[in-house]
């Protein structure tokens, strides 16, 4: 459905947008992809990579500005919502700003997409939105709920909204691997807690999950990718085998282990070969066969968490990934 379509990515100059753009241009040959973001320098740097490609456009704007969204969405068929204030300590110390972007921005986008007749919207979520303990996770949970409920608001306009949720994106700006890589020569890597685990996903797999959501969604689903976990101590050891690991204590709003599906979600969660799908309870949508398709309901009390995950990333897996992406990480 993305072939010969017009797609807009909010927060499109981020790590996700920089991966989504070339992959989607190659696979689907869309009519146009619009990068909507607030940072002119990031747009300038990104535009250099696509000189001469008329399919790539850039639009300065902020999801907090509804009028600007209305202008940007003229003629747009599909939207990927990647704009967010996402660094956990930053959100804790700047709560008003986090709410303005992650919640108010979501509401602005939902209204604008409905009014402009956008066909489908996929919003990026996070493992921190499941049973949140920090403000970032709480705002993303609120955002997820808004996008799910947006399907009821769209009515005869027919705009579909769904969400994709995954864990730590390897190599993304602000994430742990680029941070460790940047300081590994100092001989000491800070570890907040030696027990800490995280879900790990590549940017490429994140893009593929968004593609799948567009192809599969009826509206209101939350797609959760099956991905491996890794202990932070193991990750640090692979990145810098000779470095000392210094335990510094958990930061404000940080969890020991991340969760993507809670036991409360399990009542209306279905399993598929490569992902889970959390169906919405409102309007009895969770009972819709069109949403369930060939899914198998997960057991009662099921929890998808990084410490109890059945799949773990090995040292060799991470080493192979680092070898392939080393230069890319260094440029972040």
Q: Which residues are catalytic?
A: 128
Report how far residue 78's alpha carbon sits from residue 214's, in angstroms, rounded to the nearest whole number. Answer: 9
Question: Are 56 and 35 spatial neighbours (Cβ–Cβ below 8 Å)?
Answer: yes
Question: Strand 259-261 vs strand 304-305: parallel, antiparallel, or unpaired?
Answer: antiparallel
Q: Which of 200, 197, 193 is nearest to 251 (CA)?
A: 193
Report how far residue 330's alpha carbon sits from residue 37's, in angstroms, rounded to the nearest whole number. Answer: 23
Report how far residue 261's alpha carbon sits from residue 112's, in angstroms, rounded to the nearest whole number. Answer: 30
Stated as kind and residue range, the H or E segment containing 160 is strand 160-165
**Phi and psi at residue 269, to the nearest 5°:** -115, 140
Question: Are 16 and 124 spatial neighbours (Cβ–Cβ below 8 Å)?
Answer: yes
């Amino acid at each position: 459905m993305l072939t010969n379509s017009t797609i807009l990515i909010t927060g499109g100059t981020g790590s996700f947008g920089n991966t989504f753009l070339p992959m989607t241009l190659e696979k689907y040959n869309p009519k146009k992809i619009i990068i909507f973001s607030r940072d002119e320098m990031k747009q300038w740097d990104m535009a250099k990579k696509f000189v001469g490609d008329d399919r790539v456009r850039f639009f300065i704007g902020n999801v907090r500005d509804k009028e600007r969204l209305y202008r940007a969405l003229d003629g747009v068929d599909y939207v990927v919502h990647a704009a967010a204030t996402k660094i956990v300590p930053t959100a804790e110390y700047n709560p008003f700003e986090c709410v303005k972007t992650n919640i108010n921005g979501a509401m602005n986008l939902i209204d604008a997409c409905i009014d402009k007749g956008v066909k489908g919207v996929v919003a990026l979520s996070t493992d921190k939105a499941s049973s949140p303990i920090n403000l970032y996770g709480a705002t993303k949970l609120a955002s997820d709920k808004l996008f799910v409920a947006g399907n009821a608001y769209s009515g005869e306009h027919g705009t579909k909204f769904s969400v994709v949720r995954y864990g730590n994106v390897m190599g993304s700006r602000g994430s742990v691997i680029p941070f460790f890589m940047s300081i590994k020569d100092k001989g000491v890597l800070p570890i907040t807690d030696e027990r800490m685990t995280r879900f790990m996903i590549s940017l490429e797999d994140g893009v593929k999950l968004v593609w799948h959501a567009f192809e599969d969604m009826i509206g209101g689903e939350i797609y959760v990718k099956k991905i491996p976990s890794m202990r932070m101590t193991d990750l640090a050891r692979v990145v810098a085998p000779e470095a000392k690991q210094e335990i510094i204590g958990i930061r404000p709003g940080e969890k020991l282990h991340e969760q993507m599906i809670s036991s409360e979600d399990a009542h209306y969660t279905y399993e598929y070969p490569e992902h889970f799908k959390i169906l919405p309870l409102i309007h009895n949508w969770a009972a819709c066969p069109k949403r369930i398709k060939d899914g198998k309901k997960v057991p009662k009390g099921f929890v998808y968490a990084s410490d109890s995950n059945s799949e773990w990333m090995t040292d060799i897996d991470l080493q192979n990934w680092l070898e392939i992406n080393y230069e890319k990480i260094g440029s972040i």
